[in-house]
Structure formats: structure tokens, C-alpha cells
Amino acid sequence: MKRALGTRLGLTVAAGLLALAAAIAVSSTLGSQPVSLAAALRGGEPDRTILLGLRLPRALLGALVGAALAAAGAALQALLRNPLAEPFVLGVSGGAALGGTLVLLAATFVGQVAAGAGALLGSAPPVALGAIAGAAAATALVFALGRIGGRLVPEAALLVGIVFNAFAAAVITILKVLVPPDEAARLLYWLMGSLGYVSPGTLAMGAVGVLASVALLGALSARLNLLALGDDEAASLGVDVGRARALVFLGASAATGAAVALSGMVGFVGLIVPHAARRVLGPDHRVLVPASALFGAAFLVLADAVARVAFLPLGTEPPVGALTAFAGGPLFLWLLRRGERR
Amino acid sequence: MRLVAVLALALLSAPALAAPAEGGRAHALWLGPRPPAVPRRVVALAPSLTDMVVALGHADRLVGVTRYDDAPEVARLPRVGGFLDPSPERVLGLRPDLVLWLTDRGADAAVRRIADLGVPVLATPVVSVSDVLATARVLGAALGDAPAGDRLSASLSRAIEAARARAARARRVRVLFVVGRDPLVVAGPGSYPDEVLRLVGGENVVQGTRPWPVYPLEKAAADDPEVVIDAAVLEPREGISRLSAIPAVRRGAVRRLANDDALRPGPRLAGALEALYAAVHGEARP
């Protein structure tokens, strides 16, 4: 049995890595500017800079964000025992955006008194910490208010998440009115959920955060299998339910917070990818969590490439978050209807 | 879509990273390396900066502009995106040796990335009339043609002085300067049109601290401006009737600007002074 799991996991990881490599290769060849790979390899400019300085880091950013969101989605679905759970729908992304926005705002106001301190506060690490804190607060809220009679009711938790998302969006809208127009423009762009251009330092920092939180979720995957059976069943099988759930909270919040800090609100990746993976690979989270992370990475890299290329004739590119919502919204409704029929 | 247009227009007038320049000293900032030689291939990331290069007599050095650019001299040039979404890939593809940027937080990450990849970027916050004069000199120097910068700056100074002298002889007129109608977005204190209005003898009825407030219509009605200036040039002329709660709109005291020159801190300032004087004081314009 153990051996069978090892083989399946190995095959899945190999397929995931292959898909990710293919996605990065495709994304690196597509763009507004015709670029020759041969010229780039010979060191020809601007081909080399565009390929290695712009497209590759952007693909890596997409991979990190996709891996984080899909892994968090898989974990949250197990925890809530509901295939509709995912960071965006549950309000975790909204909480992260609100947390990050509050830090950016604080940076603006501090910057009016002391420019240096404001710039420091507005830099990537504090904003990311704000996003993670916001994600954690939103997760805690959803799970606290989603209880009825002391038991977690998945449907109630989902509703709390949806309402909290709307509330977070409203608060952000109000905050946007209070900041200078340039800051509002920056916020708007960040919140739209697009992969932009980050410095190698930010990318490395994001990689550490995402890999650590995804690894935590991976390590918890055996316990996720038991949690998915229900709290009582998990407890009777020897799982410390409170502790396991707290750790999954932490992992999912950190992954979502890091993803939102890197790219704003990209929705539905955590819904689409784990769902597709579950259809193909089955419900074992020991395979599902790493598969979701790897295929989520490949998915978002490809989605970003499509967003970049599809609107090329119009001289612009929609944020990748719009594209994932375009695909994820109908899937969500379909899953909802299917759940009703069952 | 309309909101996007309003936003674009508001951004045309340069929200800036730094405080407005004082005494004509521009807070220009180099990102990335300095150009090793006189730049020959220039990408401008804002129409007012394009205008500036054209007015300095160096339109031939421009190789890329934004999708909002409408100067005839650059009609055929490649577009590299907008204010929020300049495409670093397109910029690099044009092999520029100088990128001109109107500091704007939305595009911060993309432009910093361009600079990090070794392209010299000159960031110039242009918010006020004095910034315009200073930027003419800064760009002149950056293009290796300081005399052209000095000449442009001096000629704009003369236009400002002429407008001031003319306004001193005229009555002050209370004005509401409309940038967008739905929602109502107006030029408030600290915005570029507010400053140009004062130069031509107008008095902005909008008080407060925000340069581009979304303004409550009933407040606009209560302010009771003598004249409403309709600078929502991307919106159809008839739409102004939406604002008929404002007595001046009912009276027909609406002066529609023919273009967005008054929203562009740049060499179009001279034309904007003329147009705004005519609009404020009710002189017939073609």
C-alpha cells in the first residue's frame, strides 16, 4: 500500500513538474515582442533581457502564486469538507487584501511625516506581513462564525466568507477615497490581481514564504485525509483536531497572504485546480496537495500567458485575475448545482 | 469605461511621487544607470512628456509613446501601454537609451524593473506650473540640448506673465472645473487646472484638500459657480445636462473645452492659458 502511494506520488510530482516546465517554456516564448531564443542564448539584446529579465521572472511569480492558491484551496476544501471552499470565496484573499491595504495606507500617512519610514513600511515585507495577518484574521473569522451549535457548518462558513469578502471590498473602496490619487491607482492595480514585475529580492522572499507554507500543508496532508472524514471521526482515529486545524489555518493563511501580497486578488485558482486534480487523482490529500501546488503553478503561468497574448491587438492585457474568475465563476456555479442535485 | 477615462484624464495631469517643485527646481530623479551618451532613442511614458520632447524640437528621437498620445508628430510611433500598464517588454524591445516617466505609483513596479534591467529612466514629477518650467530645462539637459530647454522654459514663463497681467485687469470669476460627470469629478485645490485657473483670473469654487475629488452634485449646486468649465472632453457634449442641478448649467453658463490641454502639465500650457481665459471670461472661441 505504502509503495503504491510512493509510486503514485512520484508519478504525480513528475507529471506536475513537467507541466510546470512546459508552462514556463510556453509563457517565455509568448509576448508582445517577438523574441528569438537563439539570439537570446547568444546574448543578443534586447532578446536576452526580455526573456531572462522579464518573462522568466514573471513566469516564476505566476508559478509561486498559483502553487500557493491551489494548495490553500485543496487544504481548505478538506477542512470544510466542501468542494466550493477556496481562498477567494472564503474571504481569505479579501482579508489578505485588506491587511495589505491597511499597511500601504499606514505607509502613506507615515510617509507624510517621515518619508524614509513611510517607504520602509510600504516596501514588500511589511505589506506581505499585513496580508498574511489579514488572511489569518479572515480565516479565523470564517471558522468562528461558521459554527452553529458548536459545530462547523461548511455552508455557513462559506456564506460568512462571501459576506466578509464584500465587506472587505467595501472597506478597501472607502480607504481608496482617502488616499492621494496616485496611491489609489497603485492600490487599484494591485487589487485587480495581476502578475506584474517584481524585483529578484521580492521574488526570492515570496518563494521562501510560499514554499514554506505549501510544505507545511503537504506535511499535514495525511491529517487532512482524516479531517475530511469529520471532526469526530478524525478525533476517534487519534488526530488532535484543534491542533491540526490550527496548523492548516496557518498554512493556508500564509500561502494565501503571500500570494495576495505578490499579485493581488487572483480568484478561483484554489477552486479550479484542486477540483480538476481530485477528478483525475482521487481524494487522497497526500497526492492531492502536492499535485494541486504543481498544477496550480502551471495553470496560473499559462493563464497569464493567455491574458498577455489574447488582448495583444488591443495593446493591453487584462489582469490574470479576470481570466481565472472568467473560468472559475461558471465552474463554481456548476459545482453548486451539482451539489444540490446530490 | 467612463471611470477609466476619468482616471486616465486625472492621471494625465500627473499625480506625483514627490512634492511639487519649489522655485522652479524640478525633483527629477534618475532610476537605473545614467545615459552614457546623448540619448538618441527615447520612450516617453506620458503624453505631456512627449509634448515636451516635441516642443524641444527633438520629436525625431522619440521611438515609443503611450496609447493616450495624440500629438501629430508621434502618430505613427509604437505604443508601449498606458499609465498603469506600460509594457516593459515593449519598452525594451524598442532599445531605448532613455525612458521618460511621469512618476506614477500605478506603474512603479514596471518602470523600476525597466531601470533595473539597465535602461536609464528619468522620473519627473510634474504637478504644478513651476514643475512644467523646471521640467523643460531638465529634459533639455537630459537630451543634450540645454539651450532648447531654457528657451522653452522662458517662452512658457512669458505666456504665464502675459496671462497674469491680462487677468489682473479682469474681474475674478467663480468657476467649477468638471473633469468627469458620472461620477462628478472636479479639479480641486492643488490640482494643475486649479493653478491655471487662478492665473487667468478664475476662482475655483471647490474647497478642501483633495486635488481630484469625486464631488457631491448637491454641493456643486450649493457652491453656485458663475461658470462651469466642461473639461470632460472624452464624454459627449450633451451629457452635461446631467449636472442641471447646478444653476450655471441651467443658465447655459457652460464653457466646453475643445481639448484636454488644460489637464496636461506641459508645453500646451500656453494654449491652455488662452483657452481657459476665454472660457472663464466668456469670450467667444471658435
Chain A CB contacts of B11 under 8 Å are: 181, 185
Is A113 at the interface with chain B, CB within 8 A? no
The answer to whether the beta carbons of residues B129 and B105 sit under 8 Å apart is: no
> What local confidence, expressed as pLDDT, does residue B20 receive?
36
- Hey, are the CB atoms on B7 and A185 less than 8 Å from each other? yes
ipTM greater than 0.90, yes or no?
no
Q: To which H or E segment does residue B174 belong?
A: strand B173-181
Look at residue A177 and tell me whether its pLDDT is greater than 60: yes
Q: Percentage of residues in chain A with pLDDT exceeding 90?
A: 41
Is A62 at the interface with chain B, CB within 8 A? no
Q: What angle in degrees, to the nearest 10, is found between the helix axes of A124-145 and A154-178?
A: 140
**Residue A340 confidence class, pLDDT cut points 50, 70, 90:** low
Is B142 at the interface with chain A, CB within 8 A? no
Bridge-based pairing of strands A151-152 and A147-148 is antiparallel
Q: What angle in degrees, to the nearest 10, is found between the helix axes of A154-178 and A56-80?
A: 140
> What local confidence, expressed as pLDDT, does residue A339 receive?
65
Give me the DSSP letters along B200-212.
TTEEE---SS-SS
Cell numbers standing for residue B135: 521640467
Cα A222 to Cα A217, A230, A286, A324, B226: the distances in Å are 10, 14, 6, 29, 74
Contacting B residues, span 13-42, partner chain A, CB-CB under 8 Å: 15-17
Contacting B residues, span 203-242, partner chain A, CB-CB under 8 Å: 211-212, 214
| Cα dihedral across residues A189, B84, A326, A269: positive or negative | negative
> What local confidence, expressed as pLDDT, does residue B275 receive?
94
Chain B CB contacts of A182 under 8 Å are: 15-17, 103-106
Look at residue A165 and tell me whether its pLDDT is greater than 70: yes
> What local confidence, expressed as pLDDT, does residue B242 receive?
87
- Hey, are the CB atoms on A31 and B113 less than 8 Å from each other? no
> What local confidence, expressed as pLDDT, does residue B8 receive?
40
Task: List alpha helices for A85-219, DSSP H.
Answer: 92-113, 115-121, 124-145, 154-178, 181-191, 200-219
> What local confidence, expressed as pLDDT, does residue B172 receive?
94
Chain B CB contacts of A55 under 8 Å are: 89
> What local confidence, expressed as pLDDT, does residue B103 receive?
80
Average pLDDT over residues A204-223: 95
Is A177 at the interface with chain B, CB within 8 A? yes
Cα B144 to Cα A264, B33, B91, B148: the distances in Å are 41, 16, 22, 9
C-alpha torsion A28→A33→A34→A37, nearest 10:
-40
> What local confidence, expressed as pLDDT, does residue A187 receive?
78
Q: What is the mean pLDDT of chain A?
A: 87
Q: What is the pTM of this model?
A: 0.83
Q: Where does residue A240 fall: left (phi above 0), alpha (psi -120 to 50 degrees), or beta otherwise? A: beta
**Residue A319 confidence class, pLDDT cut points 50, 70, 90:** confident
* Lowest-confidence segment of A58-72, A285-299, B17-31 by average pLDDT: B17-31
**Residue A341 confidence class, pLDDT cut points 50, 70, 90:** low
Cα B170 to Cα A21, A306, B158, B229, B253: the distances in Å are 71, 59, 19, 18, 18
> What local confidence, expressed as pLDDT, does residue B1 receive?
35
Bridge-based pairing of strands B173-181 and A147-148 is unpaired
- Hey, are the CB atoms on A54 and B17 less than 8 Å from each other? no
Is B81 at the interface with chain A, CB within 8 A? yes
Q: Measure the CA–CA gap between B167 and A265, rounded to whole angstroms.
A: 50
The answer to whether the beta carbons of residues B21 and B134 sit under 8 Å apart is: yes
> What local confidence, expressed as pLDDT, does residue B283 receive?
62
Cell numbers standing for residue A89: 470565496
Q: Percentage of residues in chain A with pLDDT exceeding 70?
A: 97
Cell numbers standing for residue B256: 466646453
- Hey, are the CB atoms on B15 and A45 less than 8 Å from each other? no
| Lookup result for grid cell 494625465 | B12
DSSP 3-state assignment of B59? Answer: helix
Is B4 at the interface with chain A, CB within 8 A? no
Residues of chain B with pLDDT under 70: 1-26, 104-106, 283-286
